[in-house]
Structure 1
């Protein structure tokens, strides 16, 4: 099977050319296949966010290659990657325009990655669709389509970010601890809706989490990063049989 996205021998450094130069990703290799829902674990400084920033184009690759559908995208800009990649950040304030309404934000997402031209925005025609997709989040967001995003609760704003990221069905969805800033109840609700949408639409997704229970419960594949390399990669039935105790014992071996 040909990977959807492939990272080959990736080296990513920060503070390059200075006394403080540090190699974060150390010759990392990862193949991501169509329909993979991968939970990503690792201690602080293991390289999780750097991995996402490298895939997203925010950090340049110092060595190695990244390919999408076999095409080299190693040096493709962040802006051009939005045509096939979407990301939800930990901070609910990121990923949305605060002074625009919920409906206006969703309209922006509807045109993500498309060529910008002067045209009528046709917001009213899209309202039934926007109401339908916000209703699926089951948090009252559908009643706030005309509300400025800055006036939403943290959970509603993060749910909106998730809907915006998945509106155009990206080739790859990156969830960067997207429930970490929410209270436990809201976090669990968003995680449930995330799983529903990702699995029902067969989205290809990487999700960073610090919650071992979520890492075990969700997805078909689990990877652990340590010192900029993938030290553990389990999938399918092997992942289903993995226990929290076994995972914790593995972490003990990489401390």
Structure 2
């Protein structure tokens, strides 16, 4: 039997601890993520979707439970240590890139993610041909802007760059936090198509938060729904393929 890529066991995470405003966001949550899973994550506002990602990424410390990577306990690993195996793309195109650095410079940073940093020549020109080929796969003109400061890009180009940076080193776990939500419909659709293509080609293990039921149904081999800090619905394969937006709407109506 294949060992899970990532496991969350009985995870509890609270905010405003030890105050009258204390709230439990993740409530004894259990989730097993298998190698090659592309999981779309649904849930109403406040269900715990982004908190789940923050717990996996180490941005928030869980109160109890365990997080295991290939069976190894990473519950207390730092954010920096987790970047060796994990990449994340955020909803805001401004996050994930350095605005004053060029597209090529940002990609070089991503190329060296997880490596020790020191004072050494960066040899940027040696990477330009590769970066041009890589950015051309986005089909949005990014390959013509390698020497442009990232802050001058369109939102779609900047988010495409964030996605390329996140997948450049083939992370063991890729977290997509509504990464198309801030884009116009056509740009969103284009990036979603390219996302799916890369995830499939690289056989990435990926979780994607989305509010678009159509995207949740169209993409990925598995779909989960979070409600009150727990996974209340988890379908894969043929069972997921048989889902419709009507069935999902009725499920949400039942749990609310």
Coordinate RMSD, CA, aligned: 0.6
**Please, what TM-score do these two structures have when normalized by structure 2?**
0.99
Q: 1:115 and 1:73 mapped to 2: Cα distance?
A: 21
Query: Could you tell me how far apart the structure 1 residues matched to 2:126 and 2:107 are?
Result: 13
> Residue 72 of structure 1 corresponds to which residue in structure 2?
73
Secondary structure, counterpart of 2:243 in structure 1 = coil
> Does residue 199 of structure 2 align to residue 198 of structure 1?
yes
Give the Å deviation of 1:120. 1.3
Quick check: 114-123 or 235-244, which moved more? 114-123
For 2:255 and 2:148, the matched residues in 1 are separated by 47
Instruction: Deviation per CA, 1:190-238: give whole Å up to 9, x if none.
Output: 0000000001110000000000000000000000000000000000111
User: How far 1:118 moved relative to its partner?
Assistant: 2.2
Partner of 2:179: 178
Matched position secondary structure for 1:223: strand
Q: Which residue of structure 1 aligns with residue 104 of structure 2? A: 103
Aligned match of 1:212:
213
Could you tell me how far 1:154 is from its partner in structure 2? Answer: 0.1
Q: Which runs of 5+ in 1 are unaligned?
A: none
Alignment of 1:85 with 2:86, yes or no, is: yes
Question: In 2, distance between residues paired with 1:109 and 1:43?
Answer: 33
Shift of 1:114: 1.3
TM-score, with structure 1 as normaliser: 0.99
Q: Distance in 2 between matches of 1:106 and 1:17?
A: 43
Q: What is the aligned partner in structure 2 of residue 121 from structure 1?
A: 122
- Paired residues in the alignment total 255
Counterpart residue number, 1:16: 17
Q: How far off is 1:241 after superposition? A: 1.0
Distance 2:115 2:36 in 1: 24
What corresponds to 1:234 in structure 2?
Answer: 235
